[in-house]
C-alpha cells in the first residue's frame, strides 16, 4: 500500500492522495527567499566538501547582523559628534545676540490752554456741530482712521497693524471713554501702557503737577464732573495716524487728532445752552517687540491744546472749559522765575482763533 514509505517518485498518476497522507500542503506557504538564506547562521556544505574525511554536514557563518548593528551604531555616534562640533563652532563664530531690552522712556508733555476772544458762543448741539468747523467730522472712534499697514525693514505687516490698532485703542480710551472723561476711571488707559510707565502715570493721576512730566491731562482727557458734562455723547473726531521704524527694534506711531465736544453746565439750572470745546492731541507712541506681543504702548510725547480756557487755569489735573457766555480771565499764565531751580513749570497759553468758533 502507498504510505509514508513510498518511493521518492511519489504517488503514481491517477492514485488519489490521502487526506492526511503528506505534508506538502502544510509547508506550501513557507517561502525561503534570498534574504532569508543569506541571513542563515548555518549553511550546508557542497557535495564535494562533504566527501572529505570527518567533514561536517553544515558550517557556521559569521554573525554579520550583529557586526552590522555595531557598525551602524558607531556611524550614528560619529555623525552626532560631527553635528555637535559643527554647532559649537558656528555658535562661537556667530553667537546669538538677543534683542536688547530697553526701558520705556518717560512721557514728555505740554498742555496748552487756548483763550477765547470775547464771550463763548452757545447753542444747541445740532447748531454747534452743524455751524462749526467740526460739521464734517466723523463720530467717535470712526474718526480715528488707520492708514494702510505695510511691512518695514524689520517688522512684518501684522506687527505694524498691531502697533496702529493699539495706538488707536489708547486714543479712544483716553479721549472718548465717558468714564475716563468724567474722571471716574483711569484703568482703561493704564492697562494699555508699558509697565515701565506705571509709576509716572500713577503719580500724574494721584498728585498731578504742571512740571512737564506729571500732568494727568498729558495722559488723558478729563474734566470736573461737578462743573461740566457732555451735552451730546457723539464726540466729533478727525485726524491722522502715521508710522515708521525707529531703529532695528522698535516702531513709532504718531497721532494728530482734533476732538470737538459739546458741553453744558453740570448744574442744569444755570443755563440751558451748550458750548463747543475743542481738544487737539498729538501723541508719539513707541513699540518694541515685547510691547507688540502684549499689545501695549509707550507714550513718549504728548502735546495738548484745548479751548476755550483761561490762560491762568491749572490744567494739571483736569481741563477747565469755559461754557456758553463765559469769558477768559485777564490773568496771564502762571508766573515763572528763571532763577528758581527745580521742576520746570513755565506756563504756555494760546489764543483761540475766531475760525474755531461756531458761526452765529
Write the pLDDT tens digit of every residue in 295-323.
Answer: 999 999 999 999 999 999 999 999 999 99
Question: What mean pLDDT is predicted for residues 224-241?
Answer: 96
Write down the pLDDT at residue 56: 58
Confidence of residue 78 (pLDDT cuts 50, 70, 90): confident
Torsion sign, CA atoms 19, 23, 24, 30: positive
Helices (H), the chain: 34-39, 47-50, 64-93, 125-130, 157-175, 178-181, 187-190, 198-206, 216-219, 289-294
By percentage, how much of the chain surpasses pLDDT 70?
Answer: 72
By percentage, how much of the chain surpasses pLDDT 90?
Answer: 59
Cell of 65: 547582523
Q: How many CA atoms lie within 13 A of 60 on its CB side?
A: 2
Write down the pLDDT at residue 71: 79
Lowest mean per-residue pLDDT among 159-173, 199-213, 257-271: 257-271
Write down the pLDDT at residue 82: 86
Q: Which residues touch 316 (CB under 8 Å, ≥6 apart)?
A: 111, 208, 209, 210, 214, 215, 216, 217
Confidence of residue 55 (pLDDT cuts 50, 70, 90): low
Question: What mean pLDDT is predicted for residues 149-168?
Answer: 97
Q: Is the pLDDT of residue 85 over 90?
A: no
Q: Is the pLDDT of residue 275 over 90?
A: yes
Q: Is the pTM of this model over 0.75?
A: no
157 contacts 149 by C-beta, under 8 angstroms: yes
Whether a cis peptide bond, with omega within 30° of 0, leads into 308 is yes
259 contacts 166 by C-beta, under 8 angstroms: no
Amino acid at each position: 500500500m502507498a504510505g509514508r514509505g513510498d518511493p521518492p517518485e511519489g504517488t503514481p498518476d491517477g492514485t488519489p492522495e490521502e487526506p492526511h497522507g503528506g505534508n506538502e500542503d502544510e509547508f506550501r506557504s513557507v517561502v525561503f527567499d534570498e534574504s532569508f538564506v543569506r541571513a542563515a547562521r548555518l549553511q550546508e556544505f557542497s557535495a564535494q566538501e562533504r566527501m572529505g574525511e570527518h567533514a561536517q554536514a553544515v558550517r557556521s557563518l559569521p554573525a554579520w547582523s550583529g557586526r552590522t548593528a555595531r557598525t551602524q551604531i558607531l556611524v550614528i555616534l560619529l555623525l552626532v559628534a560631527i553635528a555637535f562640533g559643527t554647532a559649537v563652532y558656528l555658535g562661537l563664530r556667530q553667537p546669538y545676540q538677543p534683542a536688547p531690552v530697553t526701558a520705556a522712556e518717560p512721557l514728555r508733555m505740554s498742555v496748552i490752554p487756548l483763550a477765547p476772544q470775547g464771550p463763548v458762543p452757545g447753542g444747541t448741539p445740532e447748531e454747534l456741530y452743524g455751524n462749526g468747523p467740526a460739521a464734517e467730522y466723523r463720530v467717535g472712534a470712526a474718526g480715528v482712521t488707520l492708514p494702510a499697514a505695510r511691512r518695514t525693514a524689520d517688522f512684518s505687516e501684522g506687527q505694524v497693524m498691531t502697533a496702529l490698532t493699539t495706538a488707536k485703542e489708547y486714543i479712544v480710551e483716553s479721549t472718548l471713554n465717558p468714564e475716563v472723561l468724567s474722571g471716574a476711571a483711569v484703568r482703561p488707559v493704564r492697562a494699555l501702557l508699558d509697565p515701565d510707565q506705571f509709576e509716572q502715570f500713577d503719580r500724574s493721576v494721584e498728585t498731578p503737577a504742571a512740571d512737564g512730566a506729571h500732568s494727568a491731562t498729558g495722559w488723558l482727557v478729563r474734566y470736573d464732573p461737578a462743573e461740566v458734562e457732555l451735552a451730546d455723547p457723539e464726540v466729533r473726531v478727525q485726524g491722522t495716524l502715521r508710522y515708521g521704524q525707529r531703529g532695528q527694534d522698535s516702531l513709532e506711531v504718531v497721532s494728530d487728532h482734533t476732538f470737538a465736544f459739546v458741553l453744558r453746565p453740570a448744574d442744569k439750572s444755570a443755563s440751558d445752552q451748550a458750548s463747543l470745546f475743542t481738544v487737539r492731541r498729538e501723541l508719539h507712541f513707541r513699540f518694541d517687540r515685547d510691547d507688540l506681543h502684549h499689545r501695549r504702548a509707550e507714550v513718549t510725547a504728548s502735546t495738548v491744546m484745548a479751548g476755550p480756557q483761561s490762560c491762568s487755569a491749572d490744567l494739571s489735573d483736569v481741563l477747565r472749559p469755559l461754557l456758553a457766555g463765559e469769558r477768559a480771565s485777564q490773568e496771564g499764565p502762571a508766573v515763572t522765575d528763571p532763577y528758581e531751580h527745580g521742576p520746570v513749570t513755565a506756563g504756555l497759553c494760546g489764543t483761540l482763533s475766531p475760525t474755531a468758533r461756531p458761526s452765529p
